[in-house]
Copies of this chain bind each other. A is one copy, B any other.
Amino acid sequence: MQLELQLSSEAPSTGSPGTVRPGGRTARTRAAVRDAVLAGLVEHGYPGLTVEYVAEHSGVHKTTLYRRWGGVEGLVTDALDFAGEDSWTPPDTGSLQGDLRALAREVVDAFGDPANAAAPTAFIAAAFQSPRAADALHRFYSERFARCAPLAARAVERGEAPAGTDSGAVARAVSAPLFLRLFITREPIDADIADQAADAVLAAVRAGVYAPPA
């Protein structure tokens, strides 16, 4: 499950509050502000992030930031909401095992490289200190896991999973052992750990653990 937080200045083309037009001036401002928020979180962490820092690094005036985002919590929350506006879809490899392994490998790819991992890690850390950041993180992952419905539907169609298999529970289960190692037990992750996580979920799916009782 990739927590993709691109540090480019690309803005998503989907509408969002305050957007004048897709790719327009307001969207560019929002992208610049988001980039500054990510840079600040990575550099100083949530406790050290200030509106002043964001103003300086985005070129957007402090009074504009306060008016549109309210303050640091609003800035962090919007940056995370913004990250959720991408076009990510779950892997479609032709088999449930392939899809689950690809999903797990995405977590390894996203967090295995410290440069990629810095921004999502900073968001996960911020959620410990800001209830609004925690809500935004919750929204991000809920929406992302909801996108995994086709993965389970395809598996059911192919006869690889029982009818009614809960795609959200499956997607959470695949990523869980990797996030545990990254942020709780503080252990490395690699492709073997990813495959084991995927194969464990495959066995549980086959056993009907994620489907309603027959």
Contacts and interface: CB of A to CB of B under 8 A. Distances in A.
A20 interface: no
B185 A45 contact: no
A62 interface: no
A66 interface: no
A93 interface: no
Chain copies in the assembled complex: 2
Given A121-B128, A125-B128, A196-B210, A172 B183 contact: no
Interface in A157-206: 169, 172-173, 175-177, 179-181, 183-187, 196-197, 199-201, 203-204, 206
B177 A173 contact: yes
A141 B197 CA distance: 19
Nearest to A200: B204
A70 interface: no
A142 interface: yes
A31 interface: no
Contacts of A45: 47, 128-129
Interface in A34-70: 45, 47-48
Given A199-B209, A203-B207, A204-B200, A179 B173 contact: no
Given A45-B128, A180-B179, A200 B209 contact: yes
A209 B196 contact: yes
A7 interface: no
A134 interface: yes
B185 A173 contact: no
Contacts of A129: 45, 47, 125
Given A177-B173, A181-B172, A203 B209 contact: yes
Contacts of A142: 185, 187
8 contacts: A45-B47, A127-B186, A135-B186, A141-B186, A142-B185, A172-B181, A173-B177, A203-B206
